[in-house]
Amino acid sequence: MSKHQIGYTIFGVFTLFYVYGYIVNGWSVIYYVSFFVLWFVMVLYGSFFIRSNYHLKAISSVKTDERVVSITFDDGPTVHTNAVLDILKKGGHKASFFCIGQRIQENPLMAERIVKEGHSIENHTYSHSKHISFASTKKLIEEIEKTDEIIKRQTGVKPQFFRPPYGVTNPNFMRTIRQSKHVVIGWNIRSLDTVIESEDKILKRITKLVKNGSIILLHDTSEKSIIVLERLLQYLNDNNYRSVTVDELLKLRKK
């Protein structure tokens, strides 16, 4: 049972309890409205913060004694992915790429290069539509299966991990993942590289939080993120960290 299902059940029981109190003792509506607002805020928080594991279990970091982190790139492959791969190669670091199926079809060679150079390619839906959080379970299953097929056809590898667009989850995603059997990967360091303009600020956001087992979210979608990546790898090198794929990171988990 997910946290949401438990919360929903409690809300249902409270509603029945309140209706009884309202009829028999004339309880004020304020009690019910307050409880509803509390419950609603909890659902919103759980839906927007993947680390809360509210709708489904997501891995957002790992406990390990090794000085390793996992840099993850969302929303590619794009025209910037080659530069990202060049920088990773030069620094000897590995990363996981949560790719959009449609973009793999547009940039198939980059998907191949990701795998060939020892990184991992994972599922980030086919369309990454702005409205995907409102999609039905059937539609989500289609999105994920189609992307898995494209990745398998292009690289020979079947993705084992999935990351929901925008990190937003809901009961439909929970049902979808239960069926697709992907492991859901979140992050514990959100760079906000698609929002913040200053590379300095983005880098600082990341480096102040880096520790063993961190999962860092970047996007291979802009020049800015490439500059941040170069400086981040320098920071990791200076502090004896290395970046590995999410798969590797999970293997280095403290037993």
Site for Zn ion, rule CB under 5 A: 74-75, 165
Instruction: Give the whole-angstrom CA distance, residue 207 versus residue 33.
Output: 42
Beta strands in 139-241 (DSSP E): 161-162, 183-185, 189-190, 215-219
- Give the residue with the Cβ less far from Zn ion, 75 or 193: 75
- Give the residue with the Cβ less far from Zn ion, 27 or 49: 49
B/e letters for 119-138, b = 16+ CB within 10 Å, e = fewer, are bbbbbbbbbbeeebbebebe
CB of 235 to Zn ion, least distance (A): 24
- Give the residue with the Cβ less far from Zn ion, 4 or 128: 128
Closest chain position to Zn ion (CB): 74
Examine residue 77 and say whether the peptide bond preceding it is cis (omega within 30 degrees of 0).
Answer: yes
Residue with tokens 């049902």: 175
| Helix boundaries (H) for 94-136 | 101-106, 108-116
Q: Residue 182 corresponds to which tokens in the numbers above?
A: 């992907």
- Give the residue with the Cβ less far from Zn ion, 74 or 143: 74
CB of 165 to Zn ion, least distance (A): 4
CB of 100 to Zn ion, least distance (A): 7
The sign of the dihedral angle between the CA atoms of 164, 170, 176, 182 is positive
**CB-CB contact of 166 with 195 (8 Å):** no
Instruction: Give the whole-angstrom CA distance, residue 210 versus residue 216.
Output: 8
Q: Residue 147 corresponds to which tokens in the numbers above?
A: 């992307």
CB of 146 to Zn ion, least distance (A): 16
CB of 185 to Zn ion, least distance (A): 12
- Give the residue with the Cβ less far from Zn ion, 165 or 186: 165
- Give the residue with the Cβ less far from Zn ion, 64 or 125: 125
CB of 125 to Zn ion, least distance (A): 8
Instruction: Give the whole-angstrom CA distance, residue 76 versus residue 208.
Output: 26
